[in-house]
Structure 1
Amino acid sequence: MAQPTESQAETYDRLVPMLTAAHREMSELSKKKQDGIVSPLKIRNINRLLDELFEVLGDDPSRGFIEKLDEETLPQNSDVVLLLSQWQAALVQFKALHYGRDSRSRELRWFTMEDPRPKP
């Protein structure tokens, strides 16, 4: 599996907080009305995030287990929460593989194609 680029790491850092906020919002809505239908505007906004995050994942195997929200069938709140939870799990796993403490600088950072993990 290839390491991410600097651009992918920057996109991850920029968009994951937005995905976390969307997940939190949808979780709150789901608690109030689990079977409520999600509006097309919310679906479009969430899918914009997911499109970019899908590219961030590159060739990560988790890409086969995540999907965007269906704009035609308008999913229920609980369905969106489930899908966003899967996205969050895939992204946490991705970061765990490519982010960590640099053995030379002792700093936490992304290990990218441009600045890979130092060899021991």
Structure 2
Amino acid sequence: MTQPTEAQAETYDRLVPMLTAAHREMSELSRKKQDGIVNALKIRNINRLLDELLEVLGDDPSRDFLEKLDEDTLPQNSDVVLLLSQWQAALGQFKKLHYGNDPTTYESRWFTVEYPRP
């Protein structure tokens, strides 16, 4: 598995908070009405995030277990929560692998192609 680029790390840092917010919102909706159908606008917006995050993951093996939301079948709230939870877990593992303390500067940072682990 290759290290991410600086651009991938920046995209991660920009989009993961948005994914977290979407997950929180969908969890709230699911608590109120688990079997409620998600509208197409929400699905399109979430899928835009997922498309870019898929690029961030590069060749990470967790990609094989991630899916985007199906715009044709309009999933239920609880299904969206499950899928977003899987995305969050995969992205968390990705960061754990490529982000940490730099022993030379004692600062936390991404270890990227441009600035690898020392």
* TM-score normalised per structure 1: 0.98
Corresponding letter in the other structure for 2:34: Q
Residue aligning to 1:106: 106
Q: Secondary structure at the match of 2:106?
A: coil
Report the identity percentage: 84
Structure 1: 4+ residue segments shifted above 3 A:
none
5+ residue gaps, structure 1, are: none
Letter in 1 for 2:41: L
Where structure 2 has 5 or more consecutive residues not aligned to the other structure, the ranges are: none
Mapped to 2, the partners of 1:39 and 1:100 lie a distance apart of: 38
Report how far residue 31 of structure 1 moved: 0.1
Question: How many residues are matched?
Answer: 118
Task: Give the match's secondary structure for 1:117.
Answer: coil
TM-score (norm 2): 1.00
| Aligned equivalent of 1:43 | 43
Following the alignment from structure 1 to structure 2, what is the Cα–Cα distance between the partners of residues 60 and 100? 18
> Partners in 2 of 1:18 and 1:67 — Cα distance?
17
- Deviation digits for residues 11-68 of structure 1 (CA, Å, limit 9, x no counterpart): 0000000000000000000000000000000000000000000000000000000010
Q: Which residue of 2 aligns with 1:60?
A: 60
RMSD: 0.2
- Counterpart of 1:72 in structure 2 is 72
